[in-house]
Structure 1
Amino acid sequence: MTGEIEAILIAGPTASGKSKLAAELAERLGGVVVNADSLQVYDGLKILTARPSAADLERVPHRLYGHVDPGSDYSAGAYLRDVAPLLAELRSSRRLPVFCGGTGLYFKALTGLLDPMPEIPQAVRDRLRRRLAEEGAEALHAELLRRDPPTAERLAPRDGQRIARALEILEAGSVPLSALQAGRGRPLVDRGRARMLVLAPDRAELRQRIAERFDRMVAGGALDEVKAFEARFGSVPGTAGRAIGLAELSAFLKGSLNYERARELAITRTRQYAKRQETWFRHQLGDEWRRMTAGADFFLPTRPST
């Protein structure tokens, strides 16, 4: 693709180098890095969710990081509602948005490949969360398998939050989540005027990066961050509470795990998460996404026009 573009989208598994590349491109093109990661939106877990470094924040503006209360629900629909006015602001000032993250649904929503989601009444949400606590994720997964097999087959039986979310959508809109992924959403980013990249580093290299990054997180204050997070927010349900390393380091601090075991569990979970992300990107993002290693040359687009 040549010519002027209106956005750059950078997807990839955790620890693949997305943030570094996004900051480099935003700096060179006079752009702004915009978060597209469902964990980095939450306040209180800057280190564990690998939000951009202080050096990156000084280099270029970053938006939609750490702005959501960890106790609240946050969906792709809520993300779009936050992005829409931001995009209008950036376009009016001729700043190129460089979207960066590991949440594929955010990218699909941005480009109109995710249908509008129904509003979930609080009573429906509360009822499903109660059932999740009382019956367990696997029981709700069995129900979802009966009511929306395609969605259930994509979700792990113990992924309680996503299972509950799928059932909420069913009950709120009487339409399964799988039927809401036909690409009838309103795009905020025109795919024909965007440069879209998926970082795909070597698997062995990525595994090593994940281990090294975890050690840097701990050296950089992750244990203190866990203490402060739990003191401020307590036990948080939902997406924020699933941040990898939170449960493991909390267990170490409370004495139920030794540090070596906590480290091993956190690194293993991160590697498993990266593998799921890679699989999702491979099957869900189309041919217009350019797959490249983190160190590959990148042909820079021209600046967006007025």
Structure 2
Amino acid sequence: MEQPEALLIAGPTASGKSALALALARRLGGAVINADSMQVYRELRVLTARPTPDEEGRAPHALYGVHPAASAASVAWWRAAALAEMAKARGAGLLPILCGGTGLYFRSLTVGLSEMPAIPDPVREEARGLLAEEGPAALHARLLAADPASAARLRPTDSQRLARAWEVWRATGRGIAAWQADGPATGPAPFAFRAILIDPPRDALRAAIGARWDAMLRAGAMEEVRALRALGLDPALPAMRAHGVPELSAVLDGRLSPEEAGGRATLAIGQYTKRQATWFRHQPLADPSRTHIINARIGGKAQFSESQMGRILSFMKMVG
């Protein structure tokens, strides 16, 4: 039985994915489904550059701002939600267009998810306690001694994944890397995937990141961080570590000037986009014959050249 089509649009932060997804949704009759791990949080519209209400009104959008910042959105949660939205789109005669920069989200669909054990609450609390008391670097050192294979795959600053790796090892005596090596438990989603990868030059991306940061400040990023802090959330939660939140929090506390915060935030975002680009270059989104790579940044206002859009539409019409 022939599988239904779905389109993946991936690339680093500020590469123009959302503009392209919206343009294609309008041209092809599609529904845009968020595949970005930060844009799922409802309290972070400005700092995550979510589509505006006007943009969301121009084509169906799903999974944007649907998860509370008070809890972590897991890959398994996103996969289940995305599959439901993809089925809903197909039922309405629309092309599912998954748009984002989170490689693990895409991989959960195209490859599947590894089976993971249930973690007892006391073990989970222990991991969070160590993270809060000792910090991520110390937890990384603990993990390196207990489970070097998993620790080698994680950065010492990656609090959420470090805590997850520690609790899996403590609960099972087996590292998360070993569990993942067993292979996917879910298998790939029942769709025929095409992919568009936006891979712009570094200088174009750096300029876009700087311009985006300035636009976020004008749009109320400081007020958004102030409101988020008022919730009194665990600082280890993903939403509290979103790009810009720690830096603007430091401004509110008087520890950084706005200029210093902007420099640190744009540097961190730039480093993150390098990791994103590396992931997408080495983790195929789809079969190469079903993947179109754009070596340029898509304009934020969807100002595509006719030749560029023509090539994209020709790719979408090709026989897979």
Give TM-score, length-normalised by structure 1: 0.89
Change (3 A) 1:54 1:281: same
Contact 2:292-2:315 within 8 A present in 1 as well: no
1:257 CA drift (Å): 1.4
- Tell me the residue number matched to 1:69: 68
- Tell me the residue number matched to 1:15: 14
The code of the aligned residue for 2:316 comes to P
SS of alignment partner, residue 277 of structure 1: helix
Change (3 A) 1:177 1:276: same
Contact 1:41-1:66 within 8 A present in 2 as well: yes
1:30 CA drift (Å): 1.1
- Tell me the residue number matched to 1:285: 284
Change (3 A) 1:122 1:229: same
Runs of at least 5 residues in structure 1 that lack an aligned partner in the other structure: none
1:207 CA drift (Å): 0.5
1:83 CA drift (Å): 2.1
- Tell me the residue number matched to 2:305: none
How many angstroms apart in 1 are the aligned matches of 2:267 and 2:12?
Answer: 14
How many angstroms apart in 1 are the aligned matches of 2:174 and 2:190?
Answer: 27
Change (3 A) 1:174 1:65: farther
Change (3 A) 1:43 1:120: farther
- Tell me the residue number matched to 1:301: 316
How many angstroms apart in 1 are the aligned matches of 2:91 and 2:232?
Answer: 37
The code of the aligned residue for 1:196 comes to A
Contact 1:148-1:176 within 8 A present in 2 as well: yes
Q: What do the CA deviations read for 1:261-297 (whole angstroms, capped 9, x no partner)?
A: 1111111111111111112222233663443224553
Q: What do the CA deviations read for 1:135-192 (whole angstroms, capped 9, x no partner)?
A: 322232123224443432221112222111112233345443223155424245346x
The 5-angstrom pairing of residues 1-306 of structure 1 reads 6-179=5-178, 180-181=180-181, 183-187=183-187, 189-190=189-190, 193-234=192-233, 236-285=235-284, 288=288, 289-293=291-295, 294-295=297-298, 296=308, 297-298=311-312, 299-302=314-317
SS of alignment partner, residue 157 of structure 1: coil
Contact 1:84-1:188 within 8 A present in 2 as well: no
Change (3 A) 1:23 1:160: same
1:239 CA drift (Å): 0.8
The code of the aligned residue for 1:184 comes to P
How many angstroms apart in 2 are the aligned matches of 1:255 and 1:161?
Answer: 26
Runs of at least 5 residues in structure 2 that lack an aligned partner in the other structure: 299-307
Q: What do the CA deviations read for 1:183-207 (whole angstroms, capped 9, x no partner)?
A: 424245346x111122100111001
Moved more, 141-150 or 276-285: 141-150
How many angstroms apart in 2 are the aligned matches of 1:121 and 1:85?
Answer: 28
The code of the aligned residue for 1:218 comes to L
Moved more, 284-293 or 52-61: 284-293
Change (3 A) 1:185 1:91: farther
1:18 CA drift (Å): 0.8
How many angstroms apart in 1 are the aligned matches of 2:248 and 2:134?
Answer: 27
Contact 1:7-1:189 within 8 A present in 2 as well: no
Percent identity over the alignment is 44
SS of alignment partner, residue 195 of structure 2: strand
1:31 CA drift (Å): 1.0
The code of the aligned residue for 1:106 comes to Y
SS of alignment partner, residue 43 of structure 2: coil
The code of the aligned residue for 1:186 comes to T
Q: Tell me the C-alpha RMSD between the 2 structures.
A: 2.3
